[in-house]
């Protein structure tokens, strides 16, 4: 089964903008896949269609075989999303943040507690677990977003421009975390507009521009083309 199977995806917004003009792509289980493109290329729209935040005009998306429209709940449960915007509830503690998210995905209380503990440890956040999220540094907020995305053990992690507007030092730190997540078996889809980031992290890269995939391959294959 493919982790993500996108076929002839078209998304036209009510404004008339055609953000995706027939996109097809496959992500294999275990891959670290990069979707590279400039602002306005259609990256967020593709993610929104995958996670049910937007409905495709035509075409299909399957997440581990589950149709993102007709089997929305199963598709969504298979996806962990680390959104670009830091959409954290600033009044919750770190532990509560993870616990809420696990609850949303139907995890039993005991399992939520164990999983939260494990993730706080993995992302070096244990010391802060009872503090409110608003007290965290920028790097810790980003790490919490990763931990939250992984809480319900998704098989596909989607990272939407995880290092946009992040300084060099923090970017290096985040790269180490996301690489480890992939090495431990989670399939990753990363969107970025940094070529360097895609080349460094990804097994395969697709270039998207103007709502179309204009090139696809390993970074070596793409380098040979351009
Ligand atoms: P990216 O994530 O690559 O920057 P987006 O998917 O956000 O690209 O945007 C693709 C195109 O769709 C852009 O032209 C953008 O202005 C437009 N767009 C995105 N969201 C909406 C929306 N909700 N309504 C209308 N147009 C939108
Ligand atoms: P939004 O922040 O756009 O209102 P939702 O209310 O749908 O998003 O989601 C609630 C929380 O769950 C958010 O923190 C969001 O990042 C996260 N989330 C949304 N979709 C998914 C998904 N498919 N997998 C994991 N987390 C998700």
Once rounded to an integer, what is the mean pLDDT over residues 66-92?
94
pLDDT digits (tens, 9 = 90+) for 184-209: 999 999 999 889 999 999 999 999 99
Q: Which ligand is nearest to the CA of 12?
A: 1
HEC sequence for 24-78: EEEEECCCEEEEECCCCCCHHHHHHHHCCCCCCCEEEEEECCEECCCCHHHHHHC
**Percent of the chain's residues with pLDDT above 70:** 99
Distance of alpha carbon 148 from alpha carbon 153, whole angstroms: 10
What is the reported pTM?
0.88
Q: Whose CA is nearest to atom 13 of ligand 2?
A: 87
Question: Which residues form the pocket of ligand 1, taking CB atoms under 6 Å from any ligand atom?
Answer: 13, 15, 17, 19, 37, 39-45
Once rounded to an integer, what is the mean pLDDT over residues 136-149?
95
pLDDT of residue 91: 93
pLDDT of residue 221: 84
Of 102, 96, 101, 8, the C-alpha closest to 57 is 8
Return the structure tokens found at 83: 């959104």
pLDDT of residue 225: 64
Ligand 1 centroid–CA 45 distance in Å is 6
Residue 6, by phi and psi: left (phi above 0), alpha (psi -120 to 50) or beta?
Answer: beta
| Interface ipTM above 0.95 | no
Residue of 20, 45, 49 best suited for mutating to test ligand 1, as the one with most atoms within 8 Å of CB: 45
Round the average pLDDT of the chain to a whole number and report it: 94
Once rounded to an integer, what is the mean pLDDT over residues 81-87?
90
Distance of alpha carbon 74 from alpha carbon 216, whole angstroms: 28
pLDDT digits (tens, 9 = 90+) for 8-61: 999 999 999 999 999 999 999 999 999 999 999 999 999 999 998 899 999 999
Q: Does residue 114 carry a pLDDT above 70? A: yes
Angstrom distances, CA of residue 174 to CA of 1, 109, 119, 171, 178: 29, 29, 15, 5, 6
Q: Does residue 78 carry a pLDDT above 90? A: yes
Q: Does residue 103 carry a pLDDT above 70? A: yes
Pairing of strands 79-82, 2-12: unpaired
Contact 79, 48 (CB under 8 A): no
Return the structure tokens found at 32: 């670290």
pLDDT of residue 226: 59
Q: Which ligand is nearest to the CA of 160?
A: 1
Q: Whose CA is nearest to atom 24 of ligand 1?
A: 13
Distance of alpha carbon 129 from alpha carbon 111, whole angstroms: 17
Higher pLDDT, 163 or 78: 78
Angstrom distances, CA of residue 149 to CA of 80, 99, 104, 204: 5, 12, 12, 22
Angstrom distances, CA of residue 180 to CA of 18, 94, 120, 175, 185: 36, 21, 15, 9, 9
């Amino acid at each position: 089964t493919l982790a993500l199977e996108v076929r002839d995806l078209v998304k036209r917004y009510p404004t008339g903008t055609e953000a995706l003009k027939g996109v097809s792509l496959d992500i294999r289980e275990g891959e670290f896949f990069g979707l590279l493109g400039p602002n306005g290329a259609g990256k967020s729209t593709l993610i929104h269609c995958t996670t049910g935040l937007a409905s495709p005009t035509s075409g299909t998306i399957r997440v581990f075989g589950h149709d993102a429209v007709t089997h929305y709940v199963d598709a969504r449960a298979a996806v962990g999303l680390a959104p670009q915007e830091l959409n954290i509830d600033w009044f919750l503690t770190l532990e509560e943040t993870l616990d809420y998210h696990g609850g949303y995905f139907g995890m039993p209380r005991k399992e939520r507690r164990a999983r939260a503990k494990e993730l706080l440890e993995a992302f070096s956040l244990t010391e802060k677990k009872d503090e409110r999220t608003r007290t965290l540094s920028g790097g810790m907020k980003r790490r919490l977003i990763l931990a939250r995305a992984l809480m319900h053990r998704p098989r596909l992690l989607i990272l939407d421009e995880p290092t946009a507007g992040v300084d060099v030092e923090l970017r290096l730190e985040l790269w180490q975390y996301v690489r480890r997540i992939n090495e431990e078996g989670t399939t990753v889809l990363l969107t970025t507009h940094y070529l360097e980031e895609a080349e460094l992290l990804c097994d395969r890269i697709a270039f998207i521009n103007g709502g179309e995939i204009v090139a696809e391959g390993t970074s070596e294959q793409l380098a040979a083309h351009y």
